[in-house]
Each structure stands twice: as structure tokens, then as C-alpha cells.
């Protein structure tokens, strides 16, 4: 799941660098606000054609998104009072949180 988060943070970084908003991306991809939020947070992954569409919209090569911006990811993904001693610990905590959120989403859908 880390790779999904790196891709999402890279898209967010590129949007910011180009002065674009996530609402612009929503319109471009014809996606909902929650879908784009999930992509940017790495809870949903884009298909390759979607990555190509996003790259075209951002005027970058799709490999920029696929390769990710690891440095930006590490700076932006978690805001804590202290640094993690191990990146693996941070990733495991994020995986657990995202697994919980996915289960919560499923329960909410089942209740509808």
C-alpha cells in the first residue's frame, strides 16, 4: 500500500507545483471529491489509463507519477510530534489505519 500512497502524494505534489486544485482534477477525470481524496491519500489506486490522463492533465510523463516522489512523500505523509525511528514502522501503522478505514467503509455501505 505504500506505493499507492507515494503515487497519491506525487499527484498532490504535482497539482500544488502547477497551481492546480484537486477540484480541477475531479473535473478532468469526472470523479467525485471522495474518489480524488482516496487517490491522493493512497486508499484507491488509479488504473494505468487514469494515470496517463492525470499525467496529460499535469503535463508530465506518466513515469513521474508511477516512479513517485519519495522525498515529498516522506515529508508530507505523516505529521507527528516526532520522527519514526523506522520507515517500516510508519508504513505498518498507515497500512493498519487504512485497513480499518476500508472496513469502516464496507460496514457503512452494508448499512445503506
Chain segment 9-54, per-residue pLDDT in tens: 999 999 999 999 999 999 988 999 989 998 998 888 888 999 999 9
- Does the 2-111 domain belong in CATH 1.10.630.10? no
Query: Model's pTM, two decimal places?
Result: 0.76
| pLDDT band for position 78 (cuts 50, 70, 90) | low
pLDDT of residue 23: 93
Burial (CB < 10 A; 0-12, 13-18, 19+), residue 52, is middle
What is the rounded distance in angstroms from the CA atom of residue 17 to the CA atom of residue 29? 19
Query: Between 32 and 76, where is the model more confident?
Result: 32
Please, what's the largest Cα pairwise distance for the chain? 42
Give the C-alpha distances (Å, rounded to integers) separating 47 from 19, 22, 80, 85, 107: 24, 18, 31, 33, 25
Q: How many residues does the chain have?
A: 112
What is the rounded distance in angstroms from the CA atom of residue 101 to the CA atom of residue 88? 20
Amino acid at each position: 500500500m505504500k506505493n499507492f500512497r507515494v503515487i497519491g502524494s506525487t499527484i498532490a505534489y504535482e497539482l500544488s507545483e502547477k497551481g492546480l486544485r484537486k477540484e480541477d482534477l475531479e473535473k478532468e477525470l469526472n470523479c467525485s471529491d471522495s474518489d480524488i481524496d482516496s487517490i491522493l491519500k493512497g486508499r484507491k489506486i488509479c488504473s494505468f489509463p487514469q494515470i496517463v490522463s492525470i499525467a496529460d492533465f499535469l503535463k508530465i510523463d506518466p513515469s513521474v507519477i508511477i516512479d513517485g516522489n519519495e522525498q515529498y512523500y516522506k515529508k508530507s505523509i505523516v505529521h507527528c510530534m516526532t520522527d519514526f525511528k523506522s520507515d517500516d514502522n510508519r508504513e505498518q501503522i498507515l497500512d493498519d489505519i487504512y485497513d480499518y478505514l476500508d472496513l469502516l467503509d464496507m460496514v457503512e455501505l452494508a448499512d445503506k
